[in-house]
Amino acid sequence: MSVAVPEAAPAAAAVDRRQVRKVALSGLLGTVIEYYDFLLYSTMAALVFGTLYFPGSNPAVSTIAAFGTLAAGYVARPLGGLLFGHFGDRLGRKSALITSMVLMGVASVLIGVLPTYSSIGLTAPVLLVLLRCVQGIAVGGEYGGAALMVIEHADPRRRGSWAGIMQAGSPLGSLLSNGAVALVTLLPREDFVSWGWRIPFLASAVLLVVGLYVRLSVVESPLFRQALERSGEREQVPLLRVLQRPRAVVLACAAGIGPFAMTALIGSHSVAYAKGLGYELPDIMRAHLLISLTGLIGIPIFSALSDRIGRRRVLLIGATGAVLFAFPMYALLDLRTVPSMITALVIAQVFQNLMYAPLAPMLSEMFGTRVRYTGVSLGYQMASLLGAGFTPMIAATLVAGSGGSSLPLSCIIVGAVAVSTVSVLLISETRGRDLAES
């Protein structure tokens, strides 16, 4: 459905366009902050957290324990989605988004100053897990709200294009995170382990200040205001309304499992896997910088493409490529050459982007305005938990138990992507759907 703008009101149209741009920038910065902090933890879990917070005689066991704290953040994400979704559907998108941004920034800075196991014993890993859970709650509230603010402001014909700008915050946050890690890993190993790893966490305070400045200047979602004016009352318990028709949430969750599993394997576990194969850490981090750059270019393009050919078609193209490339990806990594590693990870990232890019507009178009924040957040964050929450830990365990074989990793990709494929085939095309409908 297209929305015509009366010719007599060009000034209002200009204001609307300015507001959409501002909302898109706010969503971009918010997503950058959330994913910079969240993915920074993932990388440090693979590099130093096992040694600093879970010391043991077996390095593989320490790494698995560190990935366990990574999973704690993913477990907390659905809780954050429910919490912020409830208040976002009742009180408005803007206040929920400001709160989620502050939570993430504060948690990350505190990780940057957290004493290690050698200083305060068991209290250190307990506090680390607690702060990771706070990060998970914050991310759980960010994505759904940021996506809705952009999509509910946008021209229905260009929802994918505008959502792509917001979703580019994920690879941009990853790019900044990997760039920060690449810089501090240039320090002597002793300095990096002692204090260098803390610098990227402390730097997130700067991103927080910039993001809050922009986010405070945006206006509330017009669709949310209109829904409130029409009904005259707020939804008391949005979750109950969503669960009265659970099919949409189940399908939304299943659709995201494949891309999230690939994110966990490409962006997190591949660091530990490549180190185990003998790759040098600077080479691994440079490969991850290219992965982030690939996403920064690919996600906006593929999200905009979904405005032209449909959300389902873009996602299914990515799913087909991911399954076909699941085994060649690890075959290339196992060659133990830097070009083969870069080729494997970048191609896999392209297929992940094709699956991930249409999610924001598709999920937003699956729910009514009064429960959209709750529905999108619950579906998306449950997908993140099931697809990525335990995947690095399971992958590390399977590799250790199979004597270093990559076969189980390829099977994880095939299985997760198959779940997403079946889900997408059961979802009717959402492109152009009227978001004002119940």
Q: What are the mean pLDDT values of the chain's consecutive 10-residue runs (438 residues total)?
A: 39 60 86 82 80 72 66 81 85 85 90 91 87 87 84 87 90 86 88 92 89 83 75 71 87 95 89 88 87 92 95 96 96 94 96 95 88 88 87 88 89 96 94 75
Q: What is the pLDDT of residue 231?
A: 65
CA 355 – CA 367 distance, rounded (Å):
20
**Cα dist. 383→192, 262, 367 in Å?**
34, 12, 16
Q: What is the pLDDT of residue 110?
A: 94
Q: What is the pLDDT of residue 294?
A: 94
Mind listing the domains of the chain with CATH numbers? 15-426 (1.20.1250.20)
Q: Is 121 helix (H, G, I), strand (E, B) or coil?
A: coil
Tokens of 84: 């912020």
CA 385 – CA 26 distance, rounded (Å):
25
pTM: 0.81
- What is the greatest pairwise CA distance in the chain? 74
CA 289 – CA 287 distance, rounded (Å):
5
**Cα dist. 142→32, 100, 102, 401 in Å?**
11, 6, 11, 37
Of 427, 65, 24, 85, residue with least CA distance to 255 = 427
Q: What is the pLDDT of residue 9?
A: 40
